[in-house]
Structure 1
Amino acid sequence: MELGMIGLGRMGANMAQRLQLAGIAVTGFDPGEQARVAVAGHGIATVDALQALVQALPAPRTLWLMVPSKVVDATLDSLLPLLAAGDVVIDGGNSWYRESQQRAARCAAAGVGFVDCGTSGGVWGLQEGYCLMIGGEKDTVARLSPLFKALAPAADRGWAHVGPVGAGHFSKMVHNGIEYGMMQAYAEGFALMDKKAEFDLDLAKVAEVWRHGSVVRSWLLDLSADALQANPALDGIAPYVEDSGEGRWTVAEAIELDVPAPVITLSLLERLRSRQANSFSDRMLAAMRNEFGGHAIKPAGEAG
């Protein structure tokens, strides 16, 4: 089986290597020369143009997109005119499921199949395997199953055809929303223990204890334990947390479906809050307390 991998960043490059190790021939494309050179160093063939990639693959072709969601449409603009009926495009990035449904319709009009694959595993996927949530037509997914089996932790687990087009990215969206909540709970718990100066807790040791037999053990806890072991005080890390969009989509979907999701919603809001170095709302609260109760206001620069 052969595959064209479009996008050779951290995820795409590692996925290409894992597929190649499983005996699947991969040809990679990335607009960045440095990314192509890095992957070529692992024995993976690369090309410097989409047209060359399409020409390098036997029909029917399978193209896997591992690009940011904001450039998927532009990539399809360039790719679809080069493809033929029977070819398949897989979007393995973090796309919004509604857009995946629209893209599937666009591909279908050109006779090209479309599969949306929610992909989890991050930088550890090459070693540990990827969790894959796949949406698309049953026959198409079955034909592509060798790819999913090669990428998953094992051929019989860690991947599933979860429904029609859109279902894969919808499942991954909710997965990431849950991830937000879990991460926030761990962060708050460790912050509470860090604040309890009376006990001078060794947070790395507590995290390590929790990893074994505890009901809160998880891979996120494993990673937290590693981080605390390497940097117990988290020195040099700014209190600024990005979000890549999936949490926002999850919250919006919960509102649309009238499903209460307070933990996920608040965890998203906490990420937004982390970016306010000089929070207007906090300063407004201090001003109000001073107005109604005469409570002292700390001058700027003396907070803490």
Structure 2
Amino acid sequence: MQLGLIGLGKMGGNMAERLRRAGHEVIGYDHHADKRDVDSLPALVKALEAPRVVWVMVPAGEPTRATVRELRELLDAGDVVVDGGNSKFTDDQVHAQMLGEKGIGYLDVGVSGGVWGLENGYALMVGGAKEDVAKVQPVFDALKPPAPVDESGQALPGAGFVHAGPVGAGHFSKMVHNGIEYAMMQAYGEGYELLDAVPLIEDVPGVIASWTQGTVIRSWLLDLLVRALQEDPELEQISGWADDSGEGRWTVEQAIEHAVPMPAIAASLFARFVSRQEDSPTMKAVAALRNQFGGHAVRAVQAAEVEHPA
């Protein structure tokens, strides 16, 4: 199958390579000249045979919106645009309507697999019409992980791919996936900190590595934590600053809107905000209050820090 792919970064570039290994023809476009096969979006569309499938792998938000708007003017009825980035599901409905006015199909695909997807495959959560999914199915089949098998050697259905529902369902599913990921990462991080704080535990990396086999908390994320600790046992080469992609926020927003309790995911999101504060204003206020009502000791800011704040 022939595919146009826009965005050849870490994810997009590896996806293109995996598809080519599976025998598909990928024509790629990227802002970086050394990565692309064509020099512009019009050239990309011209190089594809109708009906065309164009997969967008650029940053969510305005970069994706601008790309979809440009593709609307370049593509024809029967073509399909796939947004494989981390767009908010509400953007998908706008894009689908805009493209649908010209008879262009639209799919939103939540993609998980990170830099390991080239070898392991990508989990794909797809939103859109069945007829558009069918047009892109050969690409999905090449990108997803190999299907696990049962004891008789028969492939088990569903692993690594789902047509989750209409437009928006793919990115909504990926949003919830990332919210869960936040909470899992936070739990592993807190467990690591407690182990590291207790002198009784002499081999923290070894304890965490022991959890990767036979326990109910084993996971790929845990495997990655073990890998990180093998490379840097005390995590001395990395700061405790953690960004958020936006999907954790959107997950909590949807939980509020639908009255779904999500204390673990919400707490993990707020913990990331805490990680960016060198000196928490909240805790300054708490310390001041304890001093006011109980005379509890407070730690004064060092004079040097006052005179020369970082």
Q: TM-score range by the shorter chain?
A: over 0.9
Deviation at 1:100, TM superposition (A): 0.6
The question of 1:8 aligning with 2:8 is answered yes
Question: Per the alignment, in what secondary structure is the counterpart of residue 110 of structure 2?
Answer: strand
Rate the CA distance shift 1:34–1:286 in 2: closer, same or farther, 3 A: farther
Query: What is residue 186 of structure 2 aligned with on the other side?
Result: 184
The answer for unaligned runs of 5 or more in structure 2 is: 148-156, 306-310
Q: How many residues align?
A: 293
1:220-235 matches, cutoff 5 A: 220-235=221-236
Query: What is residue 87 of structure 1 aligned with on the other side?
Result: 79
The superposition leaves residues 195-222 of structure 1 with CA deviations (integer Å, 9 ceiling, x where unpaired) of 002x143122112110000000000000
Deviation at 1:278, TM superposition (A): 1.8
Deviation at 1:80, TM superposition (A): 1.2
Q: 2 CA distance for matches of 1:164 and 1:187? A: 36
Rate the CA distance shift 1:102–1:285 in 2: closer, same or farther, 3 A: same
Are the counterparts in 2 of residues 193 and 201 from structure 1 also a CA contact under 8 Å?
no
Query: What is residue 151 of structure 2 aligned with on the other side?
Result: none
The question of 1:53 aligning with 2:55 is answered no
Deviation at 1:301, TM superposition (A): 4.6
Question: Per the alignment, in what secondary structure is the counterpart of residue 54 of structure 2?
Answer: strand
Q: 1 CA distance for matches of 2:92 and 2:84? A: 11
Deviation at 1:35, TM superposition (A): 3.6
Q: 2 CA distance for matches of 1:25 and 1:61? A: 12
Question: Per the alignment, in what secondary structure is the counterpart of residue 234 of structure 1?
Answer: coil
Q: Which amino acid aligns with 1:233?
A: E
What is the root-mean-square deviation of aligned Cα atoms in Å?
1.4
Q: Which runs of 4+ in 1 moved over 6 A?
A: none
Q: 1 CA distance for matches of 2:197 and 2:284? A: 23
- TM-score in terms of structure 1 length: 0.94
Using the TM superposition, name which of 23-32 and 72-81 deviates more. 72-81
Query: What is residue 195 of structure 1 aligned with on the other side?
Result: 197
1:1-304 matches, cutoff 5 A: 1-36=1-36, 46-70=37-61, 71-154=63-146, 157-197=159-199, 199-301=200-302
Deviation at 1:300, TM superposition (A): 1.9
Query: What is residue 39 of structure 1 aligned with on the other side?
Result: none
The superposition leaves residues 245-276 of structure 1 with CA deviations (integer Å, 9 ceiling, x where unpaired) of 00000000000000000000000000011101
Query: What is residue 308 of structure 2 aligned with on the other side?
Result: none
Q: Which amino acid aligns with 1:232?
A: P
Question: Per the alignment, in what secondary structure is the counterpart of residue 107 of structure 2?
Answer: strand
Rate the CA distance shift 1:285–1:17 in 2: closer, same or farther, 3 A: same
The answer for unaligned runs of 5 or more in structure 1 is: 37-45
Are the counterparts in 2 of residues 287 and 297 from structure 1 also a CA contact under 8 Å?
yes
Q: Which amino acid aligns with 1:284?
A: A
Q: 1 CA distance for matches of 2:220 and 2:189? A: 14
Deviation at 1:143, TM superposition (A): 2.3
Q: 1 CA distance for matches of 2:72 and 2:233? A: 50
Question: Per the alignment, in what secondary structure is the counterpart of residue 117 of structure 1?
Answer: strand
Are the counterparts in 2 of residues 104 and 114 from structure 1 also a CA contact under 8 Å?
yes
Identity %: 54
- TM-score in terms of structure 2 length: 0.92
Are the counterparts in 2 of residues 96 and 170 from structure 1 also a CA contact under 8 Å?
yes
The superposition leaves residues 33-79 of structure 1 with CA deviations (integer Å, 9 ceiling, x where unpaired) of 2443xxxxxxxxx1110000000000010000001112111112222
Q: Which amino acid aligns with 1:131?
A: A
Query: What is residue 42 of structure 1 aligned with on the other side?
Result: none
